[in-house]
Structure 1
Amino acid sequence: MADFNSLSSSEKAEAAELQRMIAVEQQKAQFQAQVHTFTDVCWDKCVDTPGSKLDHRTETCLVSCVERFIDTTLTITNRFTQMVQKGAH
């Protein structure tokens, strides 16, 4: 593989775009992994016996679990954003 410094500006732009696309795909994969983990946790916590439809207790538990997951994710995201902004100053 060629040294990055020996690439033309067009090739450097393409390499940078490829790196950006890879980073986006890695973020998507990480998010999917988090959703999978969250689904497992909520399923194990809330669903005793799968049936043809959800009973009220199971539905309430799943809604609460999802809401806690979203709240936690937003809190972590906001905190991370604050840390990045403080680091940029």
Structure 2
Amino acid sequence: MDGFDQFNDAEKAEASELQRMIAIEQQKAQFQAQVHTFTDVCWDKCVDSPGSKLDHRTETCLVSCVERFIDTTLSITNRFTQMVQKGAH
């Protein structure tokens, strides 16, 4: 292996690390977008008028709303994964 091959290997390693870092940042952005969506949907559904603190009904509604949203998102993701796996075989 000459010096040029070592340079290519170093470039490949750097590119791989950059791709990994980009993927992590994309996952963070997707998570933040999901939280924003939870907030919008559940706020509109559960909060009639904002006050200094949440009453029990509003808090229960928000918790239930987020849990159902997570359940639905996981269900859709799992179904999509199954479809992709079946298509790959």
The 1-side partners of 2:27 and 2:55 are apart by 35
Aligned residue in 1 for 2:66: 66
Aligned residue in 1 for 2:36: 36
RMSD after superposition: 1.6
Aligned residue in 2 for 1:45: 45
The 2-side partners of 1:75 and 1:63 are apart by 18
Q: How much has 1:11 moved relative to structure 2?
A: 0.9
- Structure 1: which 5+ residue stretches go unaligned? 1-6
Aligned residue in 1 for 2:87: 87
When Rg is computed on C-alpha atoms for both structures, the one with the higher figure is: 2
- Structure 2: which 5+ residue stretches go unaligned? 1-6
Structure 2 length-normalised TM: 0.79
- CA spacing shift, 1:83–1:17, aligned 2, 3 Å: farther
Aligned residue in 1 for 2:15: 15
3-state SS, counterpart of residue 57 of structure 2? helix
* Count of matched residue positions in the alignment of Structure 1 and Structure 2: 83
3-state SS, counterpart of residue 8 of structure 1? helix
